[in-house]
Structure 1
Amino acid sequence: MRRSFYHVISTFCLVVILLTLNLTLAQVPENYIPEERGAIVVRGYITSEITQATLSYVESVLKYAQDRGAVAVVLVLNTPGGYLDATLKIVDRIANSTIPVIGYVAPSGARAWSAGTLILLATHIAAMAPGSIIGSAQPVEYDPVTGTTRPVNSSKILNAITKQFEGLAKLRGRNVTAARLFVLKNLNLEASEALKYHVIEVIASNIRELLEKVDGMTVKTAAGTVTLHTANAVIEDCRPSIRERILEVLANPLVSSILFSLGLWIVLFGVISAHYYAAAVGAFFMILGLLGLGFSVNLIALALLLLGSIFLFVEVFVTPGFGVLGITGILMLILGTILLPHLTPEKWFIGGEWFRQLIVTAYALGGSLGSIMGFVLYKAVKVHRATPRSRALIDLRGEVGEALDDIEPGKEGFVLVRGEYWMAKATEPIKKGEKVVVIGKEGPYLIVRKLT
C-alpha cells in the first residue's frame, strides 16, 4: 500500500475535523440580531416529543432572551409529551428564570398532553388558543427494543408525579384538584374549560392578542416581582441551532430505538462472523441510540470523539487501505464535535464584540478549509482510482527498486519502486539501500529479491 495515499487521507481527516469545529463555533450566535429599541419578546417552540434536544433548545431560548434583554419569553406548546427527566429539567429552568415565561398552547386545535401540561403549569402565565387541549398526564413506560409503551400504575411513581403537578399548580395559584386529576384520571380540558377551572389565565387566538392581554400582569420570577409590558413588544423567534436539530432527530424515541436495535444486531453479527469493521459500525449506531434513552449528551459526545479517534488511528496506521473503519471514525468525530456543548463569550470570559469577530473569522476559515478539503478529496479519489490495484501490481513485476528498510524473509518493509512507497516481503535477507527487483505479489504486498 502506498504511504502517500495514507498521507492524503490523514490530511483529509484533519481538515474535516477542523472544518467541523469551525462550523460548530459559527452556529453559536445564530439568533443574534442587532440591538433594537423597544420591548422584546422572544418566542420559542416545543412542537414535538420532549427529549434532551428540547431541554437544550429551551436553555438556548432562555439564554437568548437574557442576552437580548427581553421582557418575556413565549413558549408555544404543541406536543404529545415526552421524557420525564428532560421535562423536569425544563421545569427547573423555567422556575429559575429571571424573565417571565408564558406558556401558550397554540394554534387552535393544538394539544399539550402529559409532559406538555406539566411545562404549561410551570410557566408564569399559562395561555391557550381556542380549541386547544391539555391533560392526559398519566406516565407511561417506553420499551426502546420493541418501541411499545404501557401505563405506569405504581403508586410510588404516580404519587411523586402527582405531587409535582400539585406543587406547580399551587405555586402559580392554579387549580390543584385539576392538576391532580391530570395524572390520576387522565383529565383533559379544552381552552374554555381550563380557563373556567382556573388552570390557565388567558385565552388568545394569536400571539399578538396574547401579548395585549397579559400586558400589565404581575408575576413572580426568580428575580422577584415583575410587571409585564408586552402590548407593543417586538416578537423575535429563536430557532434551534444545527446541534439542536441533530439532537432532535437522534433523540426521537422511534429513531433511537431503531438505531440501538440495529446497532446491537450489527455488533453481534460482526463479532460472530469476525467482521470487526461491522462491529464498529454497530457500536456507532448503539451510541447514537443512547441519546433517545436519556443518556447525557455530553457523555455521548465524548464517547464519539474517543472511539472515533481510536477507529481513525487504527485505520490509518494499523490496517492496510482506508475503508469502513476510517469512515466510521470520521463520522463519529464530526457528530461528537457537533454535539459538544455550545461555546459562548461568557464561558470563554471574552467580550461579545470580540467573540462575534471570531465567528466571522471562523466562517472565512471554514470556507477556506472547505475548499482545501474538496481539493484533497478530489486528489485522493483520483490517485486511488487511477489504476486498478491488481493491474498495477502485475505491471510492477520485473521493476527495479530500492529497499528503504532492512527486510528479513517473511517480514515486511518498505521499498521504493517507480518513485512510490510500497510495502513488500522478501524471499531473502535484504539490507536497507540495496537494489531489489519485484517478482510477484501477495495480497497488498510486493514480493521482492535482491537484484543480481
Structure 2
Amino acid sequence: MIFGRFYLYLISNLLLSFSIAFASNPDSTSQSIFYVITIEGVINPVSAEYIVNSIAEAELNNADGLIIELDTPGGLMESMRQIVKAELEAEVPIIVYVAPSGSRAGSAGVFITLAAHIAVMDNGTNIGAAHPVGVGGSSPDSGSVMWDKITNDAVAQIRSIAEKRNRNADWAEKSVSESASITEIEALEFRVIDYISPNIKSLLEAIDGDTVLLESKQVVLNTKAAKIIRKEAGLRYRFLLKLSDPNIAYLFMMLGFYGLFFEFSNPGALVPGILGGIFIILALFSFQTLPINWAGVALILFAIVLFILEIKVISYGGLTLGGVVSMVLGSIMLIDSPLPAMRVSLSMIIPVVFFTAAFFLFTMYLYYKAQKRKITTGKEALIGETGVARSDVKESGEVNVHGEIWNAYSDEQISSGESVEIISVYRLKVKIKKKSTN
C-alpha cells in the first residue's frame, strides 16, 4: 500500500513536470502571430495615422510583432515623427521590410526604417536621401538660418534613432546632410539594416531567435512557424489616402470653384452649390495633408476672377490670357515639395487649365452673341416690327401688330390699310411711320 502511494506520487510529479515543461515551450503550445501592413507612397498624416493605429492594434491583440512593408519616396517630417515615436515606444517588435524588389525607403522612409527593432530590405531596393521636407508652405532656401535649423534637427534625430537601435549613426547623418543613398547590399554592410530577404517567409526564418529590446521588456522572437495575418487597409483609410493625392486635391478644388460659380451665376440651382461646397471642403481636408503654397492658391483664385471679368469687360482675350498664365503658375506652385509624388502633375494641370479657359471663352462667346441678338419680348421687341393701320393715323389712331391692336400716333399722315413700321413705344402707344418700300 505504501509502495502504491509512492508510485502514484512519483507518477503525478513526473506528469506535472512534463506539463510545466510543455507549457513553457511556446513551440508546443502556441503559434506566434505577426501582423503585416503595407505602406506605399508618400508619408503623410493619413499613412501616419494608419501605422500608429496598426501598432496599437498589434499591442492590444497581443500579437508577437508587426511587419511594415514599406515603399516610399519620403514625405512630411511631422508625419514621420509621429510614426518614429510610435515605433520607439512600441510594446511589440516592429519589423520594417523595404519591399518588394524595386522599392525604396527615401527621405522620411529612412527614419522609419532605422527606428524599427529589425530592419530588412528586399533584393533590388535602396535607402537614403533623407531630405527634410517642411509642411504648410515654402521650404527655406539652402544656406538660410531656418534651413540650417531644420537640417541640424533632422541630423540630431536620425543619429539618436540609429544609436538607440545600434545602427550606423555616421551613415544615418550623411543620409540627411549629404543625401547619401545606398543599395540593400551596402546597407547590410554598413550596419544600416539587419537582413536582406526576398520574401516574408525567409524574413521570419532569418529573425527566428533574435532578441528584441522593447521599452519595458526583452523578447526572444519565435518566428519559424509564425502565423502571418495581413491587415488590409479599411475603406476609411483608402478613401483618406486618395484624398491626400495632390492630383485629387487639385481636381476637387477646381470642381468646387466650378460648382460655386454656377450657383452664384444661377441662384437657386442648389445642386451645383451643394456639390461645389462638398468639393471645396474635401479639398481643404486634402490641403491639410500636403505642403500647400498659398501663393499658388491665390494665383488660381486670381485666374478665376480674370475669367469672370472677361465675360463682363471687353478685353479682346487679354483677361483670358492673363487668367491662363495665372492658373498655370498657380497650379505648378500649389504644392511646394521636392518630391514629384507630392506635386500636381502636368498631365492633370494642362487638361484642367484648357477646360477652364475653353469654358469661359465659350461663355464669353454666348454672352456677346446674346447681347447682339434681337430682343423678342417686352415693349422693346416691338421696335422695328411691321403692322397695318386700322384707321387713319396722325395724332391718334390704331394699328394691328402681330394680331394685337395698339393705339398709335405718327409725325406724318397715314391712311387706313397702309403698312407701317413701329419706331418707338411709349406706355401703351406706339409711334409709327410708313413702311419703306425699298
TM range, smaller chain:
0.5 to 0.7
Residue in 2 that maps onto 1:242: 235
2:116 to 97, 119, 123: 123
- In the alignment, the residues of structure 2 paired with residue 143 and residue 111 of structure 1 have an alpha-carbon distance, to the nearest angstrom, of 25
Is 1:288 matched with 2:287?
no
Contact 1:39 1:229 in 2 (8 A): yes
- In the alignment, the residues of structure 2 paired with residue 247 and residue 256 of structure 1 have an alpha-carbon distance, to the nearest angstrom, of 11
Residue aligned with 2:38, SS: strand
Contact 2:46 2:289 in 1 (8 A): no
Residue in 2 that maps onto 1:192: 185
1:218 to 211, 221, 226: 211
Structure number with greater Rg is 2
- In the alignment, the residues of structure 2 paired with residue 118 and residue 286 of structure 1 have an alpha-carbon distance, to the nearest angstrom, of 34
CA separation of 1:198 and 1:286: change in aligned 2, threshold 3 A? same
Question: Using CA pairs below 8 Å that are at least 6 residues apart, which structure has the higher relative contact order?
Answer: 1
- Contiguous gaps of at least 5 residues in structure 1: 1-35, 297-452
Contact 1:43 1:76 in 2 (8 A): yes
- In the alignment, the residues of structure 2 paired with residue 162 and residue 262 of structure 1 have an alpha-carbon distance, to the nearest angstrom, of 41
- In the alignment, the residues of structure 1 paired with residue 233 and residue 242 of structure 2 have an alpha-carbon distance, to the nearest angstrom, of 12
CA deviation after TM superposition for structure 1 residue 155, in Å: 1.1
CA deviation after TM superposition for structure 1 residue 124, in Å: 0.8
Residue in 1 that maps onto 2:327: none
- In the alignment, the residues of structure 1 paired with residue 155 and residue 252 of structure 2 have an alpha-carbon distance, to the nearest angstrom, of 33
CA separation of 1:276 and 1:87: change in aligned 2, threshold 3 A? farther
Residue aligned with 1:205, SS: coil
Contact 2:76 2:133 in 1 (8 A): no
Aligned partner of 1:288: which letter? Answer: L
Residue aligned with 1:127, SS: strand
Residue in 2 that maps onto 1:79: 72
CA separation of 1:179 and 1:272: change in aligned 2, threshold 3 A? farther
CA deviation after TM superposition for structure 1 residue 84, in Å: 2.0
- In the alignment, the residues of structure 2 paired with residue 275 and residue 188 of structure 1 have an alpha-carbon distance, to the nearest angstrom, of 58
Contact 1:138 1:152 in 2 (8 A): no
Aligned partner of 2:280: which letter? Answer: M
- In the alignment, the residues of structure 2 paired with residue 177 and residue 274 of structure 1 have an alpha-carbon distance, to the nearest angstrom, of 64
Contact 1:46 1:54 in 2 (8 A): yes
Residue by residue, what CA displacement relative to the aligned partner does 1:194-242 show, whole Å, maximum 9, x if unpaired? 1111111111111111111111111222232222111221111011111
Contact 1:51 1:252 in 2 (8 A): no
- In the alignment, the residues of structure 1 paired with residue 141 and residue 97 of structure 2 have an alpha-carbon distance, to the nearest angstrom, of 28
Residue in 1 that maps onto 2:246: 253
Is 1:112 matched with 2:105?
yes
CA separation of 1:264 and 1:38: change in aligned 2, threshold 3 A? same
Contact 1:137 1:183 in 2 (8 A): yes
- Contiguous gaps of at least 5 residues in structure 2: 1-28, 291-438
Q: How does 1:322-401 map to 2 (within 5 A)?
A: none
Is 1:99 matched with 2:92?
yes
Q: How does 1:254-273 map to 2 (within 5 A)?
A: 254-264=247-257, 266-267=259-260, 270-271=263-264
CA separation of 1:236 and 1:107: change in aligned 2, threshold 3 A? same
2:45 to 44, 52, 55: 52
Residue in 2 that maps onto 1:138: 131
Residue aligned with 2:96, SS: strand
CA separation of 1:171 and 1:265: change in aligned 2, threshold 3 A? farther
CA separation of 1:136 and 1:266: change in aligned 2, threshold 3 A? farther
Contact 2:77 2:135 in 1 (8 A): no
Residue in 2 that maps onto 1:319: none
Aligned partner of 1:53: which letter? Answer: V
Q: Normalising by structure 1, what TM-score?
A: 0.52
Contact 1:102 1:125 in 2 (8 A): yes
- In the alignment, the residues of structure 1 paired with residue 241 and residue 169 of structure 2 have an alpha-carbon distance, to the nearest angstrom, of 33
RMSD: 2.6
CA deviation after TM superposition for structure 1 residue 274, in Å: 4.9
Q: Normalising by structure 2, what TM-score?
A: 0.54
Structure 1's consecutive aligned runs of 4 or more residues displaced over 4 angstroms after TM superposition are 141-144, 149-152, 268-276
CA separation of 1:116 and 1:250: change in aligned 2, threshold 3 A? same
Residue aligned with 2:223, SS: coil
- In the alignment, the residues of structure 1 paired with residue 288 and residue 164 of structure 2 have an alpha-carbon distance, to the nearest angstrom, of 28
The percentage of aligned residue pairs carrying the same residue is 32
Contact 1:52 1:247 in 2 (8 A): no
Contact 1:48 1:80 in 2 (8 A): yes
CA deviation after TM superposition for structure 1 residue 136, in Å: 1.5
- In the alignment, the residues of structure 1 paired with residue 264 and residue 214 of structure 2 have an alpha-carbon distance, to the nearest angstrom, of 55
